Structure 1
Amino acid sequence: MVSASGCLPDRYKRNEQSLQTDSSSNCSDANVPEYRHKLPVTPEEISNSIESATSQSTRYHYKWGYNVFSNCQKERRARPISDNLPIPVETITQSITEMEPCVRDTSLQYFLAEAKKTDGNDYPSAFFYHLFVAIQGQIRLSDPAVNLLTQSTYVKCRIVLDSMMKKKIRRGVRCRESKKGRTNLSLEENILWERAVIGSDDPPKLLETMVYLNGIHFA
């Protein structure tokens, strides 16, 4: 019904305004695309995701290997210049994570031949192997493509690693006997078998195995 003034009653005006608002809102919603996936992430968030993939305890282990290597470099630099002439200067001045592959391989060869514990004693074979793996882990944090254990670029440092592990067996360098030591001995033996440092494939290797086992059980 139209009022005398020719205008709609107030309640009709309100209904008409409400319909116009709803229509406008529906049109607006229709223009907004619906996204299936999450909001865009930042480079910092991606970096944090990569970092959190490696546990803190594992990072400490990697840092241990890196620090031992860096300490060996520092000691090398403190020695007479004549001691360092036969090797590239980069092997004792650059970070292991930044070296070119061929320089890294050379540097690791000398490190593996020279590294000792803080008390001056040799590392047992198992710990020596873990030291090598820890250094690889630190490198892979910045360059995941590096694999010291498989890539042909690092074949010479792997040969030195195996050679030094065999020497430690012959010299009777092994974990101290204790409850923890027995666990470490078992771990060490497993590593030596896996690395084929000990075995029964040929007479020399069988001899290495006998020396190692005699040292554990009868020394």
Structure 2
Amino acid sequence: MQENNRPNFELKNSLFSDISSADDENILQCSMDMERMDTRFRIPLKAQDLQQMVENGKSTKTENKTRWAIDLFHNWQKQREQLTKNRKYSDPILKMSNSLLNEALSFFIGEVRNEAGSEYRPNTIYELVVSIQHHFRTNGRFISFLDDQSFAGLKAVLDSKMKELSKKGMGLQRRQADVISQVQEEDMWRTNILGSDTPQKLLDTMVFMIGLNFALRAGQEHRNLRFGGHSQICIRVDNENRRYLEYTEDVSKTNRGGILHRKLDPKITRAYGNLKQPERCIVMLYTKYTQARPDNCKTDAFYLRARKYINGNVWYQDAAVGVHILQQTVKRLCEQAGFQGFFTNHCLRATAATRLYSAGIDEQLISEKTGHRSNAVRAYKRTSDQQQSDMSDILSGNNANSVQIPRKESENRGSTEINIESGGIKINVKY
């Protein structure tokens, strides 16, 4: 056999191209450590342990939505049976055939109402269908209500229902968290709602500052923050000797860390110290907060419950703040400040995107701050009142800074007018 016809046994090049050389070294090291195998594995797991592992890996929000949708369908089944005296659609939903399911869900979508007896918004109706579909898929029955021809009737009813509700003006305005203006934030600092002189106030301020500077989502991403060797936040120093906090995302709504997301680059963003206003410096506040934690904490949660009575330098208990309490932090602070509007922890993310957008920061840089991997970041940018006013003034011609229409070159150039009067010549030069 000729040299160039020899088969290629370098399997890594084709089959394992995503395994790095560092991985090769680890594999080699593992093979050398086989004698110590008994120390490398856990005690044998039971089937229920694996099931619990799977349950822990699911999205809590998705599971809650699915449970709500299924419970609502069950309640509809009971009420329809009572009103019609007909048990046609009373079978357990997972045991229904596609044909029966198509009929049942079509009637369900057409008849469902909220607890007050009012129509749901179009997007809520859509989420009902998607959540029920998720229930089927997690129970081993892979169906697609919007693609399978056997559910064409359901798709038509859903589409018509959403259009009908939209014509009534329902769902035209999405309820979005309001943006906290810089004036409002200044009021919160001035009135001592934000600060660091008490344990609870420092805790609240850390939630506010971290949510704003790292554009975190709602309460769960705050609850996921850890302290210690595996913390997502650390203090670093750049080449110009400036200190900053670096946040490295590990698990989020768009990066669950599983098989589908294993090759995604994590969001990494910085928050530099504020040397002009040290009392508002996120690096200094972070340092003060972490130094007030008890030594040798059993919990690695970043946010700890504030002590009612300070014990020396320890301001916090060895107990994590619950996710529901974290979710209410910004709402509580804004109510305390007397702000009117819809304020949640999520508004800090929208505030970050809006402030950067208003300052003219490139959209790609904004996406790096928020962690968006598509143009979805645009939904978080709010056009300010001043920007709306400026656009209106430009269109109506009332803007003092509007662009002046240039005159034609012939209008700018000097011209000579010659008039002949009573036998004489009169020359007028116009500029």
Q: Normalising to structure 1: TM-score of the pair?
A: 0.56
1:63 is paired with a residue of what secondary structure?
helix
Higher mean alpha-carbon deviation, 142-151 vs 158-167, is at 142-151
Aligned to 2:117: 120
Aligned to 2:79: 75
Q: CA–CA distance in 1 between the matches of 2:82 and 2:45?
A: 47
4+ aligned runs moved over 3 Å, structure 1 = 37-42, 175-182
Report deviation, 1:145: 1.5
| Residue in structure 1 matching 2:106, options 101, 105, 109 | 109
Report deviation, 1:141: 2.1
Aligned to 1:49: 53
Higher mean alpha-carbon deviation, 42-51 vs 152-161, is at 42-51
Which structure has the higher relative contact order (CA within 8 Å, separation 6+)? 1
Higher helix share: 1
Aligned to 2:92: 95
Q: CA–CA distance in 2 between the matches of 1:178 and 1:109?
A: 27
- CA contact 2:113–2:119 (8 Å) conserved in 1: yes
Q: Give the superposed CA RMSD.
A: 3.1
- After superposition, give the CA deviation of every residue in 1:65-116 in whole Å (9 maximum; x if it has no partner): 11111111111011143xx4xxxx342x122223222211111011011111
Q: CA–CA distance in 1 between the matches of 2:77 and 2:169?
A: 27
Higher strand share: 2
Q: CA–CA distance in 1 between the matches of 2:126 and 2:52?
A: 30
Q: CA–CA distance in 2 between the matches of 1:63 and 1:144?
A: 17
Q: CA–CA distance in 1 between the matches of 2:47 and 2:174?
A: 49
Instruction: Tell me if 1:160 matches 2:129.
Output: no
2:93 is paired with a residue of what secondary structure?
coil
- One-letter amino acid of the structure 1 residue matched with residue 140 of structure 2: D
Aligned to 1:151: 148
Q: CA–CA distance in 2 between the matches of 1:54 and 1:174?
A: 29
Report deviation, 1:154: 1.6
- One-letter amino acid of the structure 2 residue matched with residue 122 of structure 1: E
Q: Which runs of 5+ in 1 are unaligned?
A: 1-31, 183-219
Aligned to 1:140: 137
CA spacing shift, 1:172–1:144, aligned 2, 3 Å: same
Aligned to 1:9: none
1:97 is paired with a residue of what secondary structure?
helix
Q: CA–CA distance in 2 between the matches of 1:38 and 1:105?
A: 48
1:79 is paired with a residue of what secondary structure?
helix
Q: CA–CA distance in 2 between the matches of 1:157 and 1:117?
A: 20
Aligned to 2:329: none
Q: CA–CA distance in 1 between the matches of 2:65 and 2:174?
A: 23
- CA contact 2:136–2:142 (8 Å) conserved in 1: no
Q: CA–CA distance in 1 between the matches of 2:144 and 2:49?
A: 27
Report deviation, 1:158: 1.1
- CA contact 1:90–1:99 (8 Å) conserved in 2: no
- After superposition, give the CA deviation of every residue in 1:112-164 in whole Å (9 maximum; x if it has no partner): 11111111111111111111111112222212522223222222111110011
Larger radius of gyration between Structure 1 and Structure 2: 1
Q: CA–CA distance in 2 between the matches of 1:178 and 1:170?
A: 18
Q: Which runs of 5+ in 2 are unaligned?
A: 1-34, 179-341, 343-431
2:95 is paired with a residue of what secondary structure?
coil
Q: Percent identity?
A: 23
- After superposition, give the CA deviation of every residue in 1:12-62 in whole Å (9 maximum; x if it has no partner): xxxxxxxxxxxxxxxxxxxx9x79x96765432332233233222221111
- After superposition, give the CA deviation of every residue in 1:167-196 in whole Å (9 maximum; x if it has no partner): 1112222367765499xxxxxxxxxxxxxx
- One-letter amino acid of the structure 2 residue matched with residue 131 of structure 1: L
- CA contact 1:105–1:153 (8 Å) conserved in 2: yes
CA spacing shift, 1:178–1:135, aligned 2, 3 Å: closer
Aligned to 1:60: 64
Q: CA–CA distance in 2 between the matches of 1:115 and 1:61?
A: 16
